[in-house]
Amino acid sequence: MIEATARILVRDGFDKASTNRIAERAGVSVGSLYQYFPGKEALVSAVMERHSQEVMQVVRGALAEAAALPMEQAVRTLVAASIEAHRIDPQLHRVLSEQTSRTGRLEIPHY
C-alpha cells in the first residue's frame, strides 16, 4: 500500500490520490486499507517515513565512513553521499516537498 501510494503521488499528485485509488493500485480492498491506515494522510506519512529512512541510510553510511578520513576526503565523501541521497526517487521527494510547503499538513523530514 505504501508503494502504491508513492506511485500515485508521483503520477497524479496529492490532490488526486484517494484511498480508493491507492487500494485499487495495491490490489487490496478499501476495507483492508483502512485496517492498516486511517486515511490518505497516514499513507502519505508512511511514504515520507520510508523515503526518509532510505535517505538516512545513505547519509549514516557516509558519516561513518567520513569519520575515519582526512578532512578533504571526508568532505568529498559527504558531498557524494548528499548527491546519492538526492537521487533516491527525486520525483517522489519533489511531490512530498511541494505538498508540505503548499499545505503545511504534513511534515517532511529534513536531511
CATH code: domain of residue 32: 1.10.357.10
Q: Residue 2: which pLDDT band, with cuts at 50, 70 and 90? A: very high
Determine, yes or no, domain membership for 109. no
Determine, yes or no, domain membership for 56. yes
First to last CA, the chain: 25
Is the per-residue pLDDT at 111 higher than 60?
no
Determine, yes or no, domain membership for 83. yes
Non-local CB neighbours of 56 within 8 Å, separated by 6+ positions: 109, 111
34-87 residue pLDDT tens? 999 999 989 998 999 999 899 999 999 999 999 999 999 999 999 999 999 889
Is the per-residue pLDDT at 106 higher than 80?
no
